[in-house]
Amino acid sequence: MFRDHLQPSYLILLHIHSSLKLSACTADIASVSCGPPGGKQCSYSNQCLADSAGYNSNQCCNAVPDGIFCTADFKPVECGSIPCVYSNQCQADAAGATDCCAQVPEGVACTADSTPVTCGSEQCGYSNQCLADAAGYSSDQCCNAVPNDVACLPSTSRSRVAQALACTVVNARLMLQVQLNAADSL
């Protein structure tokens, strides 16, 4: 009876957690899909309901809203830091996803060469240029990637040349230290 007097925008869904903690979620529809990458995905009407089911926002991706019409082209893109995978860029755009990178199509034959490159304005990372080519980037859209173990010293007053030189010196020291540690273990 009380519910009949509420307008739909004020309808609140209540959920009692197993720990007897009461949480309230609005009935807003902002669908999310939650679960491990490549694993089973569960859909919820909004992030609050997904949170109540035990997921957090780092485990959920915005779903493609109903009524969105995209082509059936299967050109998967991976978006954001979670990462969220959509069938194509149109679906990613419809879901509001950002920072999307084309995935390498299945069945692509490239060497296992590890010469990482970053490509495009999104700075999409691939293990080598062959994989970047397969994802749709040409070599003029890619640069050699900076290795993950590179450490540059922060500076407030150095010129760009001095900063680059400091970075090179730090990297040379790191490489020398790695080589010395490897020699010690022999």
Per-residue model confidence as pLDDT tens digits over 142-154: 998 887 777 666 6
> Based on the structure, what is the number of domains in the chain?
4
Q: What is the pLDDT of residues 64-102, one digit of tens each?
A: 888 888 998 899 999 987 788 899 999 999 998 888 999
Residue 28, domain extent? 1-63
pLDDT, tens digit (0-9, with 9 covering 90-100), for 115-144: 999 999 888 999 999 999 999 999 999 998
Sheet holding 60-62, edge to edge: 42-44, 32-34, 60-62
Q: Are residues 152 and 174 in the same domain?
A: yes
Do 39 and 2 share a domain, yes or no? yes
d(CA 105, CA 84): 16
3-state class (DSSP) for residue 87: coil
Q: Are 10 and 56 members of one domain? A: yes
Residues 5 and 57 reside in one and the same domain: yes
Same domain? For 123 and 165 the reply is: no
- Tell me how far apart the alpha carbons of residues 148 and 113 are, in angstroms, rounded to a whole number: 16
Pair 83, 43 in one domain:
no
Mean pLDDT of 34-49: 81
Q: What is the pLDDT of residue 128?
A: 93
pTM score: 0.59
Q: Does residue 43 sit in the same domain as residue 85?
A: no
Is the domain of 11 the same as that of 48? yes
Same domain, residue pair 1 and 59: yes
Please tell me whether residues 4 and 51 are part of one structural domain: yes
Tokens of 131: 């994989």
Average pLDDT in the chain: 74
**Do 4 and 59 belong together in one domain?**
yes
